[in-house]
Structure formats: structure tokens, C-alpha cells
Amino acid sequence: MEIERRLVLEVVRVTEQAALAASRLAGKGDKEAVDQAGTEAMRRVLNELPIRGRVVIGEGEMDEAPMLYIGEELGQGGVEVDIAVDPVEGTTTTAKGLPNAVTVIAISERGGLFHAPDMYMEKLVVPPPAAGLVDLTWPVSANLKALALALQRSVEDLVVVVLDRPRHERLIREIREAGARVKLITDGDVIAALAAAVRGTGVHAVMGIGGAPEGVLAAAALKCLGGEIQARFTPQTEEERARLRAMGGDETRIYRTEDLAPGREIVFAATGITDGDILQGVRFFGGGARTHSVVMGYATRVVRFIDSIHLFETGARVTIRV
């Protein structure tokens, strides 16, 4: 468990610094600036770590992303890890000052995270009791019945998170017709997957089409939490179809948690940028800021919520919250 034990707190520093940088621009209406601030901060801290890291999920291919591009090598040298990042999961939400934006990272040993191409993916995420009992190829109503049975509640008492997009019109209708309720989100299906996997958040599943890189990050979290993701690539063009094949992906295949995050060691971390269901956003105060993060390990089986106070100036005061 070398990777997890050594890097768990280091990895939180990465998401914390990215959240601090991105949140400075929250509500300022410029989503590119938000993304750039988060990406720069993430890369700076990753480069300080005692790792030989390689980006497998990042901001894009080398020719389209100046930083954290796929294949970029990071760190001071040391343990070999693969890195999946989304420096700002919810750039539009952050730019608009809306809830649920986070910074996200997952690391594993080499080969422990699927190299998903940046395209759409159809997803089904369920909490631990329903893992193995649902099937992406079934009708929506059948999955909701299976989920309800697993959670020992009625379909009417299920809430399903769906990205609010025209492409989901039919899915939303089907969920509602089956008797369940829908929680529409503007962005951010990674943190939604996390919310569905843990108790007490009031949501029980995520359905619909979102980003494939986000699917791998969700899988890393679900592996640690014990939930399940099932996913299928949905390339939109011939070019995407070819790119998927080139990366060893198969359009007809259902990818499960273990396929997307096969690592024996996985660390997943996220820090809130704006307030959300699981994480509070960055709160600045005179001379400092407070961040809220979650970090977990698959092999070490610990989920930590970390409340950090960052003192930027001497004289800044720590506040204990009750």
C-alpha cells in the first residue's frame, strides 16, 4: 500500500491548491480563466511531489492542451503512478458562482486507470447495495426496480441525478414515468456519482450521458466507496469512433468499475470550489482561506474529510467552527 500511504495527504494538497486558485475566479464569468487557474495550480503541486507521474486523463492531447496533457510526466521522481485529473469539474458553474464545482484527481499504480478518450459516455451509477444488481442494457424502469429492491425502498422514494441537457429528455421522462424523481444538475457528474454512492445525500443513482474522462474519475471514487458504475462509450462522429478504437476502446462493450479503475491501489481526492452537497466551497477570510476535501484509498479503506485552514498572511486567525 505504498502509493496510498505515502501520497494520500500529498494528493489533497493538489486539489486544495487547485480549488483555492479556481475559487478566486468564481463568479467572474470567465470559464477559461477558471480552468487555467485550476490547471496551473494542480500542475505546480504535482510537480513538487515525490512521484514519477504520468497523466492518463487530463486536459487533452499534447497538441491541444498546454498543461496536464495526456502523457505529460510530472513530479520530482519516486514511485511510479498514473494520474487522472479534472482540475475544475464544473468550469461553467464556477464562472457563474453556482454550486457543486470541485477539483478532482485520482492516482494509481501504472495501468490502474483506463485511458478513456475525451468523448461522451452513457453512465449508470448505483450505491454499494445495488452493485451487480443493475444492468445498463436494461430499460430504465427495470434498473429502478432493482435499485429500489436493493435499497429496500419503493421506486417512488428514489432520486436519480441527471445532467440537464436536451439529449436526456427521453431518459428524464422514463425515470419520472417509472415513479422515481429526478434531480437535474447543470454540470458535475463526478461529484454526483460520489453523492449517489454514500448515504445521507438524498440521491440514489446517476443516469445519462456525460464525459468519459469523468467516468473514469467517478469509477476511481466508486471503487473506494464500493458503489458501481456501468458505462458505454457513445462516440458522436466517425472521427471519435476511430479515436476510440485507437485507444483500445469498444463502443459495444459495457465498462464496469473494475474496467475503468482496475488499480490495486487508488487514491481519489476532491476539494470543493463552490458549495455542494458533499463538500463546502472555498471560504476566504482576512488573510487566509478554508477548504473542504474528501480523500480516500481503495486498499487502505479509509475515507477522510479534510477541513483545512490556509494561512496566507502572518496574523491571520484560525477559527474553530462549532
Site residues (vs Mg ion, CB under 5 A) = 86, 89
Contact in structure between 83 and 74 (CB atoms under 8 Å): yes
Phi then psi for residue 172, to 5 deg, are -60, -40
169 known ligand binder: no
Closest distance to ligand VTB from the beta carbon of 165 (Å): 5
Give yes or no for residue 189 binding ligand VTB (CB under 6 A).
yes
Q: Which is nearer to ligand VTB, 122 or 187 (CB)?
A: 187
Contact in structure between 114 and 259 (CB atoms under 8 Å): yes
What span, in angstroms and rounded, lies between the C-alpha atoms of 317 and 309?
A: 9
What span, in angstroms and rounded, lies between the C-alpha atoms of 205 and 7?
A: 30
Give yes or no for residue 165 binding ligand VTB (CB under 6 A).
yes
Q: Which is nearer to Mg ion, 145 or 210 (CB)?
A: 210
298 known ligand binder: no
What is the residue whose three cell numbers read 457563474?
A: 96
Closest distance to ligand VTB from the beta carbon of 214 (Å): 4
Q: Which is nearer to ligand VTB, 112 or 211 (CB)?
A: 211
Closest residue by Cα to residue 266 from 45, 28, 46, 82 = 82
What span, in angstroms and rounded, lies between the C-alpha atoms of 286 and 278?
A: 25
Give yes or no for residue 241 binding ligand VTB (CB under 6 A).
no
Give yes or no for residue 276 binding ligand VTB (CB under 6 A).
no
**Interacting residues toward ligand VTB by CB under 6 A:** 89-90, 163, 165, 187-190, 210-211, 214
State the binding site for Mn(2+).
35, 59, 86, 89, 214
